[in-house]
Amino acid sequence: MYSKALWPVAIAGIAEVKAGKGDTLLKLRDSYHGRTADGVYPDSLEASLAINCLDEERHTPEQETAMNRAWFRAAPFTDHGRPIKLARDGCEQWPVKPTLGYPYATGIKGLADTLTVSVTGDPVTPHEGGVTLAKELGGSLLTVEGEQHGALLAGNACVNEAVAAYLIDLKSPAEGARCKL
95 and 120 part of one domain? no
DSSP 120: T
121 and 87 part of one domain? no
Average pLDDT over residues 122-149: 91
pLDDT band (50, 70, 90) for residue 1: very low
Beta carbons within 10 angstroms of residue 43's beta carbon: 9
168 and 132 part of one domain? yes
Residue 73: which domain range? 57-102
pLDDT value at position 105?
Answer: 64
**61: cis peptide before it, omega within 30°?**
no
DSSP secondary structure, 58-110, as one string:
PPPHHHHHHHHHHHHHH-GGG--SS--S----TTTT-SS--S--SSPS-S--S
130 and 172 part of one domain? yes
Phi-psi region of 176 (alpha: psi -120 to 50; beta: other; left: phi over 0): left
95 and 148 part of one domain? no
Please report, as a single letter, which amino acid is at residue 94: W
Percent of the chain beyond pLDDT 70?
94
175 and 137 part of one domain? yes
Closest CA to 90 of 124, 53, 125: 53
Average pLDDT over residues 139-144: 96
Q: Residue 159 falls within a domain, yes or no?
A: yes
Counted domains in the chain = 2
> What is the side-by-side strand order in the sheet with 178-180?
115-119, 140-145, 178-180
User: pLDDT tens digit string along 121-133?
Assistant: 988 888 999 999 9
Q: Residue 16 falls within a domain, yes or no?
A: no
pLDDT value at position 104?
Answer: 64
> Could you say which of 38, 67, 102 is where a domain stops?
102
pLDDT value at position 163?
Answer: 96
Q: Is the pLDDT of residue 36 over 60?
A: yes
User: pLDDT tens digit string along 62-112?
Assistant: 998 999 899 899 988 888 899 888 888 888 888 888 886 666 667 778 888
119 and 91 part of one domain? no
Q: Do 25 and 14 meet the contact criterion of CB atoms below 8 Å apart?
A: yes
- The percent of the chain in helix, strand and coil, each rounded to the nearest 5, is 40, 10, 50
Q: What is the pTM of this model?
A: 0.59
Closest CA to 142 of 150, 5, 123, 107: 150
Average pLDDT over residues 4-24: 88
Q: Residue 156 falls within a domain, yes or no?
A: yes
Residue 75: alpha-carbon gap to chain centroid: 19
82 and 133 part of one domain? no
Q: Residue 137 falls within a domain, yes or no?
A: yes
Q: Residue 147 falls within a domain, yes or no?
A: yes
Please classify residue 157 by burial: count the beta carbons closer than 10 Å to its beta carbon, then call 0-12 exposed, 13-18 middle and 19+ buried.
exposed
